[in-house]
Amino acid sequence: MAEGLRVLVTEHLGEEGLALLRGKVELESYELLPVEELPARLPDFDAVIIRSAHRITRDLLDLAPRLRVVARAGAGFDNIDLDAATERGVLVLNTPGANAEAAAEHTFALLLSLLRHVRIADRHVRGGGWDRQAFIGTELKGKTLGIIGIGRVGREVARIARGFGMQVFAYDPYVAADVVQARGAVKVETLPALLAKAQILTIHTPKTGPHLGRAELLQLPAGAFVLNVARGGLVDEQALQELCDEKRIAGAALDVFSSEPPRDPRLLGRDDMVFTCHLGGSTDEAMANIGTRVADAVLRALAGEVPEEAVNLPFPSLDRLPAGLLDIGRQLGRIVGMTGGEGPVLHVACRGGVPEEAAPIAARAVLAGVLEQVLDGPVNVVNAALRAQEAGLQINIGLESAPVPSLAAWFAGSEDLLAEITLEEAPRIRRLAGGRFDLRLPSHLVVTQHHDQPGVVGRVGTLFGQAGVNIATLELDRDVQGGRATMALGLDEAPGADLLAALLGLVGVERIHAVDLAVGAGKGR
């Protein structure tokens, strides 16, 4: 037993996790510690493991100067004040991906139920029926499976699909073709190309993944099936219903919904769809895996290590870092991650007021901002490089901390993603969504990718004027005359969904990216 180390477990963890802790630390565990008792208990412990019932707030951390580790037995950490923990040198841990196998298996549970009419046939037999001809099914063997997102869950889906004899294709712009192949799929370079192939489509991305609306779903072969066991809202449920009514889509299976629980009686009454209540990761084995992983991570953290489950990096000398450096870097990365780019290399140039010893941390902050838009689970300056390597992402950082005469000349001809951090002036982005810019960091940003033809810029401006949204800055770039153009607009306020939809409907506009740095979120259309 580590001398004097005490660990508090506030909710059910599972015997496997508790067994790891016993004998190594002084353990106090509860099936559910009453929330009102936590403030009195927390100051006596070096580490606490929570699930979703408790919140670790700034006020609670002020009461517990002994506390060194806060661990969340699960993927999220919204119930932990991350900034307050970092400022106080408290390491925050969580366990993303511990339920990947469970989510992948649930995908096929739903798929087989849908294709073999299990739910309605069960109801038919219970009602005394025996009409075998009414429930002729569809086999998986030989079918083409399209996977959007080939991360932890996506790769398990690909593995299982191969066992059924399926042809597996995957779209994931951040994963190299050889890595996708190693995960049992063939990489498809664009989303439309994947949709055109997919007799069965499944999505396994974070909430920032592609949004599948009517336009996207219409690109599927007639009679396709659609699954969402990832995040609610990634698939437009209204569009699914309409296309099923039109017989363009044969059926759908949903474990997650845009609003949970779903209330639409028309949706819930359909026999060509199968639903479950966000059960993707809910298995005994997944719960045990989460328990053992979080317990092991806590023990390693108390031993002085920074485990891969770390969500933050406590800086004992945080006051010596330039103010706002990590936040600026992460915001730059979020923009790059949301809008994509032409190549796999992220160049970060740290100039003007960034100390040499702080430059690698700043670069990691940019990388974390990029990856949090394309990976599931938390990414931060501690684990950004590890998460990129683990996911097989070919994103490398070219770091330049010394002043250079011309950053644009330095990267002339490069097809890489490019971000620059500078603190003497406003932070800037020099390459975005295929365009070259000298773009200051706005609070609200819209990037269009459109055909270089007369009238497009004017029509875009007219729509913003009609919506009452002021354009503060506008920068425009194109590859060749009449080719593809990219426009970046800094706005005084966030555009609404109706405005974004109207922009996408303009003649010549191919894609719209909207990034709201005020809330650290974005979306692409």
Residue type, 209: G
* Residue owning tokens 């040499």: 356
Gap between the terminal Cα atoms of the chain: 54
Q: For 100-275, which CATH superfamily applies?
A: NAD(P)-binding Rossmann-like Domain (3.40.50.720)
Looking at the structure, give the CATH architecture of the domain made up of residues 6-98+285-313: 3-Layer(aba) Sandwich (3.40)
337-377 pLDDT, tens digit per residue, is: 766 544 455 667 666 666 666 666 777 777 888 887 777 76
Q: Is residue 242 within 8 Å of residue 214, measured between CB atoms?
A: yes
- DSSP secondary structure, 79-103, as one string: TB-HHHHHHTT-EEE--TTTTHHHH
Q: Which residues are CB-neighbours of 195 under 8 A, at least 6 positions away?
A: 146, 201, 216, 217, 219, 220
- DSSP secondary structure, 391-420, as one string: HTB--EEEEE-S--S-HHHHTTT--SEEEE
Q: Is residue 389 within 8 Å of residue 396, measured between CB atoms?
A: no
CA 449 to the chain's CA centroid: 23
pLDDT of residue 394: 59
Beta-strand relationship, 26-29 and 6-9: parallel
Beta bridge partners of 253: 227, 274
pLDDT of residue 175: 84
pLDDT in tens, the chain (525 residues): 456 899 999 999 989 999 999 989 999 999 999 999 999 999 999 999 998 889 999 999 999 999 999 999 987 787 899 878 877 778 999 887 788 999 999 999 999 999 999 999 999 999 999 999 999 999 999 999 999 999 889 999 999 999 999 999 999 987 888 889 999 999 999 999 999 999 999 999 877 788 999 999 999 999 999 999 998 999 999 999 999 999 999 999 999 999 989 999 999 999 999 999 999 988 999 989 999 999 999 999 998 887 878 888 655 444 455 656 777 777 777 777 766 544 455 667 666 666 666 666 777 777 888 887 777 766 777 667 767 776 766 555 555 554 433 333 333 334 455 555 555 556 667 666 666 777 777 778 888 888 888 999 999 999 999 999 999 988 888 878 888 888 888 898 889 888 988 888 888 888 887 877 654 444 444
- Tell me how far apart the alpha carbons of residues 198 and 202 are, in angstroms, rounded to a whole number: 9
- Tell me how far apart the alpha carbons of residues 115 and 475 are, in angstroms, rounded to a whole number: 49
- Tell me how far apart the alpha carbons of residues 305 and 314 are, in angstroms, rounded to a whole number: 12
pLDDT of residue 398: 56
- Which residues are designated catalytic? 231, 260, 278
pLDDT of residue 213: 94
Q: Which residues are CB-neighbours of 525 under 8 A, at least 6 positions away?
A: 211, 500, 501, 504, 511, 512, 513, 514
Count CB atoms within 10 A of the CB of residue 229: 28
Q: What share of the chain is helix, strand, coil (3-state, %, to 5)?
A: 35, 25, 40
- Tell me how far apart the alpha carbons of residues 157 and 159 are, in angstroms, rounded to a whole number: 5
Give, in degrees to the nearest 5, the angle at Cα 377 between 372 and 379: 45
CATH, range 315-437: 3.30.1330
Q: Is residue 397 within 8 Å of residue 419, measured between CB atoms?
A: no
- Tell me how far apart the alpha carbons of residues 49 and 294 are, in angstroms, rounded to a whole number: 8
Q: For 442-525, which CATH superfamily applies?
A: ACT domain (3.30.70.260)
- Tell me how far apart the alpha carbons of residues 115 and 278 are, in angstroms, rounded to a whole number: 20
Same fold, 6-98+285-313 and 100-275: yes
Instruction: Outline where DSSP puts E strands in 123-204.
Output: 144-148, 167-171, 186-187, 200-203
Beta bridge partners of 489: 446, 474
- Tell me how far apart the alpha carbons of residues 503 and 525 are, in angstroms, rounded to a whole number: 10
Torsion of CA 23, 27, 31, 33, to 10 degrees: 180
- Tell me how far apart the alpha carbons of residues 279 and 276 are, in angstroms, rounded to a whole number: 6
Pure H helices in 206-322: 214-217, 237-245, 265-268, 284-302
Q: Which residues are CB-neighbours of 513 under 8 A, at least 6 positions away?
A: 338, 339, 340, 433, 445, 446, 447, 448, 449, 522, 523, 524, 525
pTM of the model: 0.67
**511 class by beta-carbon count within 10 Å (0-12 exposed, 13-18 middle, 19+ buried):** middle
The residues spanned by each domain of the chain are: 6-98+285-313, 100-275, 315-437, 442-525
